[in-house]
Amino acid sequence: MTYDDDNAIVLWPEYFDSERSRSQGRRLPIKLCVKDPDLDMIAKGAMVLDLEYKIVEDAAYPANWAAKNGCIRVEKGKMRKTDILPAIGQILVDNQ
């Protein structure tokens, strides 16, 4: 399946940040998170999983609207979001 911006899955750096609590946006266990993940790290994880992606640098996580950390939009279809998140989290931890 090819990348379609209308159906893409959004991955925010806050999902992978070990400094955040679950209520602040972290989606994974701390063992699969890193301190201050950036867009390049997450994009490399998507690349390793062979997912097409697009980097959106000026986007802000809704719960943290003042900080425009950006997001990664990945293709939908090969994997579900619940499978993508821990896979990218493990890649981030392994390459830390």
Give the chain as a DSSP string: ----GGGPEEE-GGGGBTTS-GGGT--S-GGG-BSS--HHHHHHHHHHTT--EEEETT---GGGTTS---EEEE-SSSS-HHHHHHHHHHHHHHT-
- With CA atoms as reference, report the closest residue to 50 among 95, 7, 91, 15: 91
Work out the average pLDDT over 69-86.
90
Tell me what pLDDT residue 42 has.
95
Q: Show me where the domains of the chain are located.
A: 5-94
CATH superfamily of 5-94: Signal recognition particle, SRP19-like subunit (3.30.56.30)
Average pLDDT taken over every residue of the chain: 91
Lowest mean pLDDT among 3-7, 18-22, 37-41, 80-84: 3-7
Q: How confident is the model at residue 1 (pLDDT cuts 50, 70, 90)?
A: low
pLDDT at 39 over 80: yes
pLDDT band at 72 (very low <50, low <70, confident <90, very high): very high
What distance lies between CA 36 and its chain's CA centroid?
A: 12
Percentage of residues in the chain having pLDDT higher than 70: 98
